[in-house]
Structure 1
Amino acid sequence: MKLAHPLLERPIVFEENKINVLVIENQKAFSEIVWELMEQINDGEGQFVLSSDLTHLELQKYMDLVIDLFSLDFNQKRIINKVYSKLKMIAVESEYYVDSTGLISEIMRYLEKILQEIHYPLEYNQEMDIGAIFKFADVKIGTDYETIIEKTIDYLTLLQEFIGIKLFVFINLKCYLSDQDLEQLYQFVIYNKYDILLLENTMREKRFQQEKIRIIDGDLCEI
């Protein structure tokens, strides 16, 4: 997979066992790049091109931009909808089919009795399916974690499994994670063959052997 942009002399190529780090020391360019990524992921305009085997990939479908590790949204609409769909599929499988249909029948009978207590013509959805139960119960993904690295790893797993995210872009990740946490994240990403890009606004002293670093300096010269 590759990520191209006019600011870059050549596309960023994502390889197994490597972590791409792009350092943009020019603050104006850094801000513009982050803004442009946000716009494109939200189906706006931008010059980033993501591709795999010469096939163009839409950023809003295949990329996730992580700006704030402390505000990771596990229960965003696109995730919850996928979770509900999967739960619905499980509920109608043979093991749970009888229980599911029985529950819907009981709810229908309950509604019929309750609605008769009001002497007005009341209507309701008589085609209710088991998926409505999960929404009614407000099923959500738990977010009680002891460490930020555990939360981050689960977030990546969740989006890859349910949404099919191909590339995770982190903004100034090294500001938030210790060297030990970064090493743990790198090991997880490499083992699971995820593609990530660290977008940093300054070069850190610590370098990891897994990192493939590219620097754009204050004069927008690529190193």
Structure 2
Amino acid sequence: MKICHFDFSKPFELKNGVGVLVVENPEKFVSYCKDFLDQYSGEDGDFIFDENGKNISFKKCGEIIFDIFNLSYNNKKIIGGVYDNIVATVNNDYFSEYAELKGRILSFVDLVSFDFPLQIEYNAEFSLQEILKVLKVQPSDTSISVVEKIADYFDLSSKFAGTKMFVVVNLRTFLSDADFLSLITHIEYADYSVMFLERTQFKRMKEEPVRIIDNDLCEIIVENEFV
């Protein structure tokens, strides 16, 4: 994944799906955050995301995360993808069982309505998605640490919501070097990319590329050697 912006002298190429953008100037930092938010909401922005020579929509395939402590596996995009996958599995492998279940539900409602002292009506064309929603079917949170929760969220959002690009704001403030190393190692084997947008430069843990916009708006590129 490459990220382009007119502030950059050249595209910011994420290595093994990881990159760190440090913006020391507070006004520029806020401007970048707003740009990502605007694009996530479907508006135009100055950042361009290039995947193998093809521009991708940040609204459709991206996500910006400000609060890592409030990540939910139950957001609309993930749940929609989970339900679509369950429906496909049922249609392929359990269609007769579902047809039987639906018939039994309708028969039960008929039985109850027969003895009910009021004439009632109901929708007999309910969907499997509606059943799943009533039962509150959702991914289980089995994470035992903040890092594991973040990694699991990335994986779920990628698989079920089609997210290809995550922008995470000021994450390094909350993670130890060891935890950050664990997270970027996980990302290396994933099918998505993550850019960490930071106000302060932290120690590089591997050879993750770092792009710095300093307080004077000068650009510093760190791609190979450790600093």
Task: State whether TM-score is above 0.5.
Answer: yes
Are 1:215 and 2:209 an aligned pair? Answer: no
1:118 offset after TM fit, Å? 3.7
Instruction: Please give the secondary structure, in 2, of the residue aligned with 1:211.
Output: coil
Corresponding residue number in structure 2 for 1:45: 44
Deviates more, 1:152-161 or 1:2-11: 2-11
Q: Kindly provide the amino acid, as one letter, of the partner of residue 56 in structure 1.
A: N
* Equivalent of 1:189 in 187, 190, 198: 187
* Counterpart contact for 1:19–1:210, Cα < 8 Å: no
In structure 1, C-alpha distance between the alignment counterparts of 2:83 and 2:192, rounded to whole Å: 25
Q: Which runs of 4+ in 1 moved over 4 A?
A: none
> Partner of 1:124 in structure 2?
122
1:61/1:165 contact within 8 Å kept? yes
* Runs of 5+ consecutive residues of structure 2 not aligned to the other structure: 221-227
Alignment correspondent of 1:198: 196
**Cα RMSD after superposing both structures:** 1.7
Where in structure 2 are the equivalents of 1:96-111 lying within 5 Å? 96-111=94-109
Aligned to 1:161: 159
Note if contact 2:83-2:129 (Cα within 8 Å) is conserved in structure 1: yes
Would the aligned equivalents of 2:181 and 2:206 in 1 still touch at CA under 8 Å?
Answer: no
The runs of 5 or more residues in structure 1 that have no matched partner are none
Aligned partners of 1:211, 1:130: CA distance in 2, in Å? 44
For residues 212 and 140 of structure 2, the distance between their equivalents in structure 1, rounded to whole angstroms, comes to: 38
- Measure how far apart 1:202 and its partner are: 1.0
Does the CA-based 8 Å contact 1:91-1:130 persist in structure 2? no
Q: Deviations over 1:47-80 (max 9, x none)?
A: 1111223322111111121211101121111111
Q: How many residues align?
A: 219
CA contact under 8 A between 1:2 and 1:50: conserved in structure 2? Answer: yes
Indicate the larger mover: 47-56 or 34-43.
Answer: 47-56
**Identical aligned residues as a percent:** 31
